[in-house]
Structure 1
Amino acid sequence: MTLETKNSVFVELGNFLSQFSEHNTIKKSDVLMNDFFFEDFVNLIQLSQSHNGWYTPEQVYFAIQSWANALTKANLDQWLSNYTTINDQRTPKTVALILAGNIPLVGFHDFLSVLITGNSVLVKTSSNDQHLLPFLAKYLIAIDESLADRITFVEGKLEHFDTVIATGSNNTARYFEYYFKDKPSIIRKNRNSVAVLDGTESKEQLLALGEDIFRYFGLGCRNVSKLFVPKGYKFDSFFEAIFAYQDVIHYEKYANNYDYNKAVFLMSDFKLLDNGFLTIKEDTSYASPISSVFYEFYENIDEIRERLASDTEQIQCIVSNNLIENSINFGQTQLPHLWNYADNVDTISFLLIT
C-alpha cells in the first residue's frame, strides 16, 4: 500500500467523523460505507457514557470533531512531508499498543502512526475505552480490506510483537520498562500541563484558559492543572472569566470529586480559593486532583523559564501569552496538530528506525 493510498483511507475516516457533532449531526451522501456505519456510530456515541461515566456525549463529540479536523489531506501531507524515508520499502513490524483510557480516543494518534508507517498494530485497549477505537478500525477495514491483516485487538496477554508503545502512570511505567526491556519501546508516564500568567491576559484569554482546564473534566495530560502567577496576583478576573464553565458542577462524577477534594483540603487546613465549582490551592506540585488547580507565585519570569526547562519530563504543554518559548495559545491544549507528539517523542521517527 502506497503512502498516498494510506493517506486517502484516513482522509475518508476524517470525512466520516465530520458528520458527528453535538448539535448538528447530519448524514452526508458522499461518505463511503455510510449506510453500514452511520447509525451504529450515533448509537455508540450515546452509549459511551454507560461504558465510561466520564465519556459524556459532549466530550465524545469534541474528540470526534478534533480528529475530523485533523484527518484532512492537507494535514496528513504536511505532517508526513517531514519524513523522507517514509516511502522506503522495509519489512513491516508488529507494534503493540497499550492504551490509556482517560479521555476518548486518546490512543488514536499512536494507532494512526503505526498504520501510516506500513506496520501492523496489536492493540490492548484500556478497560475505560474499549469501544470507540475498535469501531473506527472496523470502518477503516471496510474502506480498505487489506487492513484486516494489520489490525488486531487483544484482551489478554500481548504476544508476537516487535515493538511496543505503552501509556500509563508512573507506577505502571516501571512495570512496562521491566517487562518490555528487550523490545524497542516508547513508555509514557504521567505528565501535566501548566499556564504561565503575567496579569495582562484579556478576559477572552482567561475564558479560553477555562477550556484548557475543564475540557474532558481535566482528566487529560494536556489539561492545565497548575498556574504560575506573578506575586500579588489577584484571581478575581480569572474567576470571573471561568464562570462560564459553572455547569460542570452539575455533572455528578465531577461534583463528587469537587466535594471530596475540597473536604480533604479543608480538613488539612489548607488555604483555598473557591468559586463553587473549582478550588485553587497554592502548591508546588504539578498534578492537581480533579476539580482543583494548583498555583505558585513568582517574582522573576526567568526563574519560571528555568524551572520549566529543568522539569520538562514532567510537563506536556505550557500555555502562555508568549511568555515561555514554544508555549501554546490559550484554549488550544486539547487541539494538537498531527505533528504535536505526546511527551515530545516523535513516534513516526521511532517507528521508521526500529
Structure 2
Amino acid sequence: MTIDDHKSHLVSLGKFLNQFQVVESIKDESLPSNDSFFNQMEEKIDNAVHYNGWFNRENVIFSLQQWSKALTEQNLKLWLADYDLSRSGGKTVGIVMAGNIPMVGFHDFISVLVSGHKVLVKQSSNDQQLLPVIASYLMQLDSRYEERIKFTKEKLEDFDAIIATGSNNTARYFEYYFKDKPSIIRKNRNSVAVLTGNETKEELSKLGEDIFRYYGLGCRNVSKLYVPENYDFDMFFKAIYDWNPIIHRDKYANNYDYNKAVYLMSEFKLLENGFLILKEDKSFGSPIATLFYETYKNEDQLNRALQKNKDRIQCIVKNEPENSEVRFGHTQKPQLWDYADNIDTIEFLLNL
C-alpha cells in the first residue's frame, strides 16, 4: 500500500466523520461504503455516551469533527512531506490507548498505518466504541487493512515496538514491562495559559474552550493560569460565564461540590463563580472544576518557571503565541504535526 493510498483513504475517512453532528447528522450519499457504516457509527456514538459518563454527545461530535477537519488532502500532504516513508514498514506496533477523552489515541493509530507498519491496539475500557467502526470503515475502503489492523483485550504479545499512554503510575509499569522494546511512553502532562492583564473580554472568552472542553480531562486542557501579581480576575470570570451550563452536568457538579467543600474545610483561599474554583497553587494537575493559578513578577521569572517545568507541560497557551505555543481556544484543535510531548511519532516509527 503506497502513501498515496493511505492519504486517499484518510481523506475519505475525514469526509465520513464530517457527517456526524450534535443535533442531526446528515448522511452523504456520495461517500463510498456509507450505507451500513453511517448507522453503525451513530449507534456507537450513542454507546460511547452511555458507557462513559464523561462522554456527552457534544464532546464526542467535537472530537469527530476535529478529526474530519484534520484529515484533508492538504493537511496530510503538509504533515508527511518531510518524511521518507519508503524506508519504513513491516513491523507490528502495539498501542496502549488512554480513555480520558474521545478518540485520544487516534493520532498514534494513523501514524502507525501511514508509516507502513501493522497496528495492534489495546483500548481503554472508557473509550472502546468508536475506533473499531473507523477501522472497519478503512477495511471496507481497502481490504489490505484487514492484515494491518488488530484489536485485543488481552495482554499485548508479538509486537516489535510500543506506544503507551497513561498516568505517571502506569508509566512506571509500562517502562518496566516494555523495557526490551523500542517505545514511546507518555506520562501525565497538563497545559497552562499565560495572561498579561491586557487581554480583552472577547479574547479571554476563547480561553474558556481550552479550560472546559471535555470537562478539562485532556492533557491539552488548560489546568493552570500564570497571571501577573495583583491580577484582577473579574474580567476573566465574566469572559467565561457562557460556560456556566456545565454545572448542570451531574459528574462535573459532584466534583465541583466535593472540591469546594474540601478546600473550604482546609481553609484555603478561593475564588469561585458557581461553576469554577480558582485556587493559588504551584501544582499543575488541578482537579475537575478547579483551575490553579500562580503569579509572576516579570517575564524573566515567568520564562524560568516555564522552562523548569517543561517536561510537565503539554501546551503553553497565550493570546499572542510564539513558536510552538498555542493561541486561545485552540488547544483541542491540534494539527496532525502537533505531536504529544513534542515527540515526533512518525520519526520514531521510521527508525524501527
Name the residue aligned to 2:280: 282
After superposition, give the CA deviation of every residue in 1:62-102 in whole Å (9 maximum; x if it has no partner).
Answer: 0000000000111001100021x1123x4510000000000
Compute the displacement of 1:323 (Å): 6.3
For residues 219-260 of structure 1, what are the alpha-carbon distances to aligned partners after superposition, in whole Å with 9 as ceiling and x for unaligned? 000000000000010100000010000000000010011111
Q: Give distance in 1, aligned partners of 2:169 and 2:107.
A: 23
Q: Which amino acid aligns with 2:336?
A: L
Query: What residue is the counterpart of 1:198 in the other structure?
Result: 196
| CA–CA separation in structure 1 for the residues paired with 2:52 and 2:263 | 27
Give the root-mean-square deviation of aligned CA atoms: 1.0
Alignment of 1:289-300 (within 5 A): 289-300=287-298
- 2:103 aligns to what? 105
- Partner-residue secondary structure (3-state), 1:284: coil
Quote the residue 2:62 is aligned against.
62
Match of 2:263 in 1: 265
* Aligned pairs (5 A) from 1:306-345: 306-322=304-320, 325-345=323-343
Match of 1:141 in 2: 139
Identity of aligned residues (%): 57
Task: Give the Å deviation of 1:324.
Answer: 5.9
SS at match of 1:319: strand
Query: Offset of 1:307 from its aligned partner?
Result: 1.3
The offset of 1:47, in angstroms, is 2.4
- Tell me the residue number matched to 1:254: 252
Match of residue 302 from structure 1: 300
1:40 and 2:61 are equivalent in the alignment: no
State whether residues 305 and 324 of structure 1, in contact with CA within 8 Å, keep that contact through their aligned partners in structure 2: no
- On the 8 A contact 2:95/2:108 being kept in 1, the answer is yes
Write the mapping of 1:61-210 to structure 2, written as runs, cut at 5 A.
61-83=61-83, 85-88=84-87, 90-210=88-208
Cα-to-partner distance string for 1:145-166 (whole Å, 9 max, x where unaligned): 1000110100011000000000
Q: Distance in 2 between matches of 1:6 and 1:72?
A: 12
The list of structure 1 runs, each at least 4 consecutive aligned residues, that deviate by more than 6 angstroms after superposition, is none
- Alpha-carbon deviations, 1:268-307, whole Å to 9, x = none? 1101001000000000001100000000111111111121
**Cα separation, partners in 2 of 1:178 and 1:238, compared to 1, 3 Å:** same
Decide whether the 8 Å contact of 2:45 with 2:129 is kept in 1.
no
Whether contact under 8 Å (1:63, 1:104) holds in the other structure is: yes
Structure 1 CA distance for aligned equivalents of residues 203 and 282 of structure 2: 24
CA distance in 1 between counterparts of 2:10 and 2:267 reads 52
d(CA) in 1 for partners of 2:150 and 2:47?
23
Native 8 Å contact 1:164 1:186 kept in 2:
yes
Taking the aligned partners of 1:70 and 1:351, their CA distance within structure 2 comes to 21
CA 1:231–1:210 in structure 2 vs 1: closer, same or farther (change >3 Å)? same
Inter-partner Cα distance in structure 1 for 2:74 and 2:324: 23
- Shift, 1:321, TM fit: 2.4
Residue 156 and residue 292 in structure 1: after superposition, are their counterparts in 2 closer, same or farther (change >3 A)? same
Matches of 1:230 and 1:296, distance apart in 2 = 8
What is the CA-CA distance between 1:198 and the residue it aligns to? 0.5
Show the 5 A alignment for 1:207-226. 207-226=205-224
Aligned with 2:268: secondary structure? Answer: coil
Structure-1 separation of matches of 2:78 and 2:258: 46
Q: Secondary structure at the match of 1:303?
A: helix
- Structure 2: segments with no counterpart, 5+ residues: none
Contact 1:273–1:279, Cα closer than 8 Å, also in 2: yes
SS in 2 for 1:217: helix
Counterpart CA distance in 1 for 2:324 and 2:157 is 39
Alignment size in residue pairs:
352
Q: In structure 2, how many angstroms separate the alpha carbons of the residues matched to 1:294 and 1:228?
A: 9
Q: What is the identity, as a one-letter code, of the residue corresponding to 1:87?
A: S
Change in 2 beyond 3 A, CA 1:265/1:107: same
List gaps (5 residues or longer) in structure 1. none
Aligned partner letter, 1:4? D
Q: In 2, are the aligned partners of 1:196 and 1:323 still within 8 Å (CA)?
A: no
2:121, 2:152 within 8 Å by CA — same for their partners in 1? yes
* Contact 2:97 2:105 (8 Å CA) reproduced: yes
Q: Does 1:244 align with 2:209?
A: no
Give the drift of 1:322: 3.0
SS in 2 for 1:87: helix
The CA deviation at 1:45 is 1.2
Equivalent AA in structure 2 for residue 41 of structure 1: M
Query: Conserved in 2, the CA contact under 8 Å of 1:196 and 1:229?
Result: yes
Q: Following TM superposition, by how much is the alpha carbon of 1:344 offset from its aligned partner in structure 2, in angstroms? A: 0.4
